[in-house]
Structure 1
Amino acid sequence: VSTSLEENRAYLKEALGVDKSFDVIQLDVEYAGKDMSMFLIDGLIKDDMLHLLQKFLAKQDENTLKIDGLEKLLKTYIPYVEVESVDDLDKVVDMVLAGPTALVIDGLEKVIVIDARTYPVRGPEEPDTERVVRGSRDGYVETVVFNTALTRRRIRDKSLRMEYMQVGRRSKTDIVVSYIEDIADPDHVKEVKDAISKIDTDGLPMGEKTIEEYISGRHYNPYPVVRYTERPDTAAAHLFEGHIIIMVDGSPSVLITPTTFWHHMQHAEEYRNSPVTGLYLRLVRYIG
C-alpha cells in the first residue's frame, strides 16, 4: 500500500475491474479534509451500516486525522465490530471480492477493511431428507457463518473450535473445520487440516463433495467414509462423540468425519423415542 491515494486507487480499480463489472462499486468521498475511496461489492454489503459509518465520518473536521489518524479511525470514528487494517493490496482485493468494504485514505500506508457484509440467504428450514416427527425444525443453510452460529447455539463449550480455511485459487471458498478440542483426536484433526490445505484447484464447483474426494483418498472403497447431514442437532451429537465437522460455504450439507458403516444407519428420529422403540427402528434399518 502506497501513501499515494491515486496509486492505490488505480491498482484496486484495475484489479477489481470497476469499469468492467457493474456490481463492483468505487465511491470517491472526502471526509475530515482527506480524499478517500471506498471499494465494495453491491449486494454483499449492509447499506444501513455503511450509511451510519459515512455519517460518523462526515462529522469529523480536519484535525481528526492529523495525529495517529489510523488509530483514531479504528478505535473511535468507525463504530463497527469487525474492522482491521491491511497493508497488502492483493489481500485487499481478495477481501473485497468476499464481501467486506475497503476504505483507502490519502496519506495512509494501510487500507481499512470494514467487514459489514451480508449474504442472500434462505431461512434455516427443516431439511427434506432428514425430517423427524418430533425434534427441531431448523437446518443448515448455504452461508457458513449462519451454520457456525447454529452449531454454537447447541454447544456452548469453551473447547469448541471453529478454524477458518480457504480453498481454491480462483473461487477462494471459505471452509470451517469444527471440533471439540479436548474430545477429538488431535492427530486426526491435524490430518484433516493438512489434507484440506494441500488441495490445489481452481475452485470447488461441487462444494463439500469435492472436499470429500480430496480428504478420503481411498477411491477403491465403495462405501462412503464421511457422513453428510443438514441438521445442526445431528452435527452437535457427533461433535460430542469426538468427530470433526467440515462446513463449506455455499452448501447446506456438512461433512462428519471419521465415520464407519454403522454411522450411516443412525437417524435423529431414534433418539426422540423410547429406548425400545428406538432400538427397534435401528434394527429394522440394519436388516434393510
Structure 2
Amino acid sequence: MKNTFYEISSSYLKIGLRTEENFDATMKKIKKNRKEYTLFYLSTLTDNMEIMAITQSIVENPTYNIQELILNGAVSKTQDLKNMMKLALSGVAILLIKGKDYALAIESRSYHGRSLTEPDSEKTIRGSKDGFNESINDNISLIRRRIRSSDFKIELYSIGKKSKTDVAMVYLNNVADEKIIREIKSKLKRIDVESLVMTDRALEEELFGQKFNPFPLARYTQRPDIASINLLKGKIILIVDTSPSVIIVPISLFDHLKSVEEYRQPPLVGSFIKFIRTLAILVSIFLIPLWYVLVTESNISNFFIIQPTNSESLIPIFMQIIMAEFFVETIGLAVIYTPNVLTSTIGIVAAIIMGSVSIDLNLFLPEVLLYVAVSAISSYSTPSYELSLANRLVKYSLLILSILFGSSGLLLGVLILFCYLARIHVLDKYYLSPIIPFNGNDFFKLFFRKSNEEKKIL
C-alpha cells in the first residue's frame, strides 16, 4: 500500500527533529471528531500558548475556516518536506492532517532576547538610548520605526548547511545603487558554508574574503539610528540573526571615523569633535614611531619634549617601547575578559606597575610611559573597534620599520600604507574615497559638519 503524504511527512519530521532524543522536540498525536492530527514543534523556540490556541481552534471545529487563518498570516500551507523541516527548526509549528496532501505551518516563533538597551561601545550623550539585540525581528522593527517609506525593502536569505542562519538584506529601493544590490545578492546566494555561528564576522569574510587585509571592509553598528541614516544615504544593511550588530556596506575608510555624537551638537561643535577625533587617531598611529625616530636621529637634544631627560635605564629605548606596548595590550585584553567587579583592581595594579615602581627600578624612562599612554588613550577615540585594531597593527609595523631603518623606514612604511589603502576596493568603491578619487565637497565634510539646513538627510 502506498504511503500517504501524512505518513511520509510524519516519519520525515520525526527522524529529522529526533523527537525520541531531543527533549524540546515535541510530537503530539491528536484524535478528534474522527480525524487524526500530528503536531511537531520545538518547545524552546516557540510560544506554546499560541500553538495550543490555534491548534485547538482547528481540531475542535472541523469546519473552522483555515483560509481565514492563512490570510491573517498565522498559518500557511506547505507541501515541501525540506521547507517543513527548515520551518520547524526555526520555531514554526507543523500540523499534519490525515487525509490532506499539505501541512499547516503555524507561526509561533518566540525568541528570547535582551532588552533594547544602548550599546556600551557606542554611547552618546544626547542620542537615542535603544540598540540592537540578538533578534532579527526586533532589529528590523527598530529600523522600520525610523524609516516609514514604501521604498523600504527586506530580502531574507538562509545561509549555512547546518545552521541555516537567517540573513536579512535591507535597502531603500530607489536610493541604493542597483549594481551593488545585484552584486551583494549574487554573493549571498553563492555562499556555501556549514554554518554562520560567528554570525556577522563570518559573513563579512565570506562576502569580501579579507585574507591578510587587517582593515575592516564593512562597518558594524549596534545603533539603529546609525543604520537608518546609512540606509537613507544609499547604503545596504545586512542583519544576521543572533547578532547584536548589523553590517553596513559599501563603506570607505572614513566612514569608520563618523560618530552619531557629532550630529547631536551644533555644526561648529560637531566640526570641533570631528577635528579632535581625526587628530587623536593620527596620534595613536604615528606618535610612537615618530618620537622614536626623533629621539634616535635628532640632534635637538635641548628640546625636552622629544629628547629623554633621563638615560639611566640599561634597557634600549626600542625595547622599552615594545615592553610598554605589550603591557598596555595585555591590560586591554585582561579588562575585556575580567568580570566588571574586578576591572578596577586591574587598573590599580597596572598603575602601580607602570608607574613609579617601573621608573624607580630604571625599567622605563618617564617619556616612554608618557608617549605610550598618550598613544593608547588616543586609540580609544576611534568610533570603530575594528579600525582601532587595524590601526594598532599599522602602528607596530611602522615602529618596527623605524627601529630597523630609522626615518627612511618610517617614510617607506607611510608610503606603503598609502599605496595599500589606495588599491583597496569595496564593491567597486575606493576605500580612500573621497581622497581617491578626489571629491572636494565630500572631502570638506570629512572635517566640517554642515548645518541642518544644508543637509537633506539627518
TM-score norm. by structure 1 comes to 0.92
User: Which residue pairs with 2:192 in the alignment?
Assistant: 200
Letter in 1 for 2:143: T
Task: Report the CA distance between 1:56 and its aligned residue.
Answer: 1.6
Whole-Å Cα distance in 1 between the matches of residues 259 and 224 of structure 2?
Answer: 13
CA contact (8 A) 1:31 1:57 kept: no
CA contact (8 A) 1:163 1:177 kept: yes
Letter in 1 for 2:68: K
1:32/1:135 CA distance change after superposition, 3 Å: farther
Whole-Å Cα distance in 1 between the matches of residues 196 and 46 of structure 2?
Answer: 24
Task: Report the CA distance between 1:220 and its aligned residue.
Answer: 4.6
User: Which residue pairs with 1:56 in the alignment?
Assistant: 57
User: Which residue pairs with 2:219 in the alignment?
Assistant: 227
User: Which residue pairs with 2:67 in the alignment?
Assistant: 74
1:36/1:116 CA distance change after superposition, 3 Å: same
Residue by residue over 1:159-200, the C-alpha shift from the partner in whole angstroms, topping out at 9 and shown as x without a partner, is 011110010001000000001010100100111111111111
Whole-Å Cα distance in 1 between the matches of residues 253 and 5 of structure 2?
Answer: 61
Aligned match of 1:148 in 136, 140, 151? Answer: 140
Residue by residue over 1:4-27, the C-alpha shift from the partner in whole angstroms, topping out at 9 and shown as x without a partner, is 533332222112111011110001
User: Which residue pairs with 1:42 in the alignment?
Assistant: 43
SS in 2 for 1:122: coil
Letter in 2 for 1:279: S
User: Which residue pairs with 2:8 in the alignment?
Assistant: 7
Residue by residue over 1:124-163, the C-alpha shift from the partner in whole angstroms, topping out at 9 and shown as x without a partner, is 0100000001111110010101111111000001001111
Whole-Å Cα distance in 2 between the matches of residues 135 and 92 of structure 1?
Answer: 43
Whole-Å Cα distance in 2 between the matches of residues 16 and 80 of structure 1?
Answer: 28
Whole-Å Cα distance in 2 between the matches of residues 10 and 59 of structure 1?
Answer: 25
Q: What percent of counterpart residues are identical? A: 32
Whole-Å Cα distance in 2 between the matches of residues 80 and 47 of structure 1?
Answer: 19
User: Which residue pairs with 1:69 in the alignment?
Assistant: none
Task: Report the CA distance between 1:287 and its aligned residue.
Answer: 1.3
SS in 1 for 2:57: helix
Alignment of structure 1 residues 53-132 onto 2, 5 Å: 53-61=54-62, 64=63, 72-75=65-68, 81-132=73-124
Structure 2: 5+ residue stretches without partners: 281-458
Letter in 1 for 2:94: A
1:4/1:214 CA distance change after superposition, 3 Å: closer
Letter in 2 for 1:74: Q
Whole-Å Cα distance in 2 between the matches of residues 31 and 202 of structure 1?
Answer: 42
Whole-Å Cα distance in 2 between the matches of residues 197 and 255 of structure 1?
Answer: 17
Whole-Å Cα distance in 1 between the matches of residues 266 and 120 of structure 2?
Answer: 24
Task: Report the CA distance between 1:218 and its aligned residue.
Answer: 4.6
Aligned match of 2:152 in 147, 154, 160? Answer: 160
Residue by residue over 1:193-243, the C-alpha shift from the partner in whole angstroms, topping out at 9 and shown as x without a partner, is 111111111001211001111112354543211100000000000000000
CA contact (8 A) 2:30 2:36 kept: yes
Whole-Å Cα distance in 1 between the matches of residues 71 and 55 of structure 2?
Answer: 11
1:218/1:90 CA distance change after superposition, 3 Å: closer
CA contact (8 A) 1:32 1:57 kept: no
Task: Report the CA distance between 1:89 and its aligned residue.
Answer: 1.5
Letter in 1 for 2:16: A
Q: How many residues align?
A: 278
Task: Report the CA distance between 1:49 and its aligned residue.
Answer: 1.4
SS in 2 for 1:19: coil
Whole-Å Cα distance in 1 between the matches of residues 153 and 71 of structure 2?
Answer: 28
Task: Report the CA distance between 1:59 and its aligned residue.
Answer: 3.5
1:54/1:91 CA distance change after superposition, 3 Å: closer
Asked if 1:280 corresponds to 2:280, the answer is no
User: Which residue pairs with 1:68 in the alignment?
Assistant: none
Structure 1: 5+ residue stretches without partners: 66-71
User: Which residue pairs with 1:18 in the alignment?
Assistant: 19
Whole-Å Cα distance in 2 between the matches of residues 93 and 135 of structure 1?
Answer: 43
Residue by residue over 1:47-103, the C-alpha shift from the partner in whole angstroms, topping out at 9 and shown as x without a partner, is 221222233234315xx38xxxxxx42326x79523211111222111101100000
CA contact (8 A) 1:53 1:79 kept: no
Asked if 1:28 corresponds to 2:29, the answer is yes
Letter in 1 for 2:119: P
1:199/1:101 CA distance change after superposition, 3 Å: same
Letter in 2 for 1:19: E
SS in 1 for 2:204: helix
Letter in 2 for 1:110: Y
SS in 1 for 2:7: helix
User: Which residue pairs with 2:262 in the alignment?
Assistant: 270
Question: Cα RMSD over matched residues?
Answer: 1.7
Letter in 1 for 2:274: R
Whole-Å Cα distance in 2 between the matches of residues 208 and 218 of structure 1?
Answer: 14
Letter in 2 for 1:109: D
TM-score norm. by structure 2 comes to 0.58
With CA pairs under 8 Å and 6+ residues apart, which has the higher RCO, 1 or 2?
1
CA contact (8 A) 2:5 2:102 kept: no
